[in-house]
Chain A
Amino acid sequence: MDDQLIIEQYVAGKLTPDECAAFEKRLAQEQDLAESLRLYQMTQRFMAQREPVLEQLLDTMGNKYFPAKPWYTKWIIWAFTGLLLLAVAVLFIIYNAKIPAPSTDLPTENKPAPSELAPSATPRLLDTVKTPAPISKEPEPSFTPSTQTDKPPIAAIASSVYKANPILEGLWQEQLRNNQYFELLNPNRDTILITQQQMVIQLCLRTTFPPPYELRVYSNEPSDFYNDNRSLNTIITEAIGQADTFIVNHPINLPLTEGLYYWLLVNKAEELLTVGKFNIVK
């Protein structure tokens, strides 16, 4: 009797007890035989489970209620999603290009009541400085340093080129990019002044805050700005204009040594209106 026939008879329960015992003994020893028996039993179970009529019916219903989508459906969805994202990105870029971010606290109708100008306004100003813009690598002219107080000469901070004050430089750069609130006539970005020369601050401010304004001049040394150690401080009381536009035309003497300086114009509410910089040579 061949093995296949024995398997069939074993599964059908047609072997005698002796034949059955002998077969089971072989099963324990012969892996191939055990595998054949297992596959035969699985085939038998499969054949018993077959329901061709039901399967056919379910296939028909499946075709009707889960219609096959064309292979390119997924690609269309991906392409559409990609285009949508691209459109959003383009709109975002256009939107950002049209509406520049405010650079500093500019006065509005709802600003707090003006207070007296306090000499210790720097902490308030520092609050307005969030993230400095990248510092321009524009080299400053090389000047011969000299002392103003007991501090080392300003130019000595950098060996040959004045170092920019990162915070004020950032503000200045940001203002250059976003200057719809003022028009600076003098000093312009390339202004170089002679020491003891008179400088005329000329600018047109679009602000609802009338004068007085305070002009603060800081050296390029960061600690001077942090410690509110001003190189010059003056109040500008007069400006031409009204409502929301004021033109400042204010001459100031510059009793300053050579170096790089930043000037800040602040209103009575301690808000930064504009920032600029200039160089002084002998």
Chain B
Amino acid sequence: MLVQRKYIDGLLTHDSKIIESIYRNYSHRIEHHVVRSGGSSEDARDVFQDALVIIYHKAQSPDFQLTSRFYTFLFGICFRLWERKRKKKSFQTMTIPVDAGYISDDDIEEKIFEREQYKIFLAAFEELDQICQQILTLFFAEKSMEEITQQTNLKNAHTTRNRKYRCQKKLEKLVKDDIRFQDFYK
């Protein structure tokens, strides 16, 4: 189990060698499963990466315990991710509670949902210009308006606040316009 735990620790510490060993040992097995069930290598890549991020977030919880082999855990998450993706590809709509809190008794399902939501926001965030990205990053890192002004070379705190407001509204609009987001909340 120590060997299995090393993968978790490697993810938590962003250890490139251990993360590479995860890819080297397991990527082809996940790819085989995804491709065999009608997906592409690109689908497999997304599923694999999302699963590792989900494991990373779960492992950050202090009460997290790996109760199975790492691959079993990884495969379980990949399997659920791929099933959801495949359902969406075949135009089957899913019903998700309107509440963004998404209450589920299955923690993994919740993490998968969060990951999908995260990717919608990430796509929108990457469409913002550099200054907007910087302002929002600093703002949500709880930096004061003065610090943000200083780091972004804007005129003053008032200008920064206005700019931050516009950036945030733009991000929200991009998210709301994303068809995946509309699918979630329709």
Contact = CB atoms under 8 A, between A and B. Distances in A.
Interface of A: 4, 36, 38-51, 53-55, 57-59, 61-62, 64-69
Interface string B40-56: 11101100110011001
Contact of A49 (B42, B57, B137, B172): B57
A62 B50 CA distance: 11
Contacts of A62: 23, 45, 48-49
B64 interface: no
Contacts of B20: 61, 64
Given A49-B118, A54-B14, A58-B53, A43 B19 contact: no
A54 B27 contact: no
Given A4-B168, A66-B48, 12 more contacts: A39-B176, A40-B168, A42-B100, A43-B140, A45-B114, A47-B136, A47-B137, A54-B53, A55-B53, A58-B52, A62-B45, A69-B40
Contact of B27 (A4, A38, A53, A65): A65
Interface in B16-73: 16, 19-20, 23-24, 27-28, 31, 40-42, 44-45, 48-49, 52-53, 56-57
18 contacts: A4-B165, A38-B100, A42-B100, A42-B117, A43-B121, A44-B140, A45-B117, A46-B121, A50-B122, A55-B53, A61-B19, A62-B48, A64-B23, A65-B23, A65-B24, A65-B27, A66-B27, A66-B45
Contacts of A68: 41-42
B117 A58 contact: no
B140 A41 contact: no
A47 B49 contact: no
B140 A48 contact: yes
A36 B11 CA distance: 34
A189 to B, nearest CB: 57
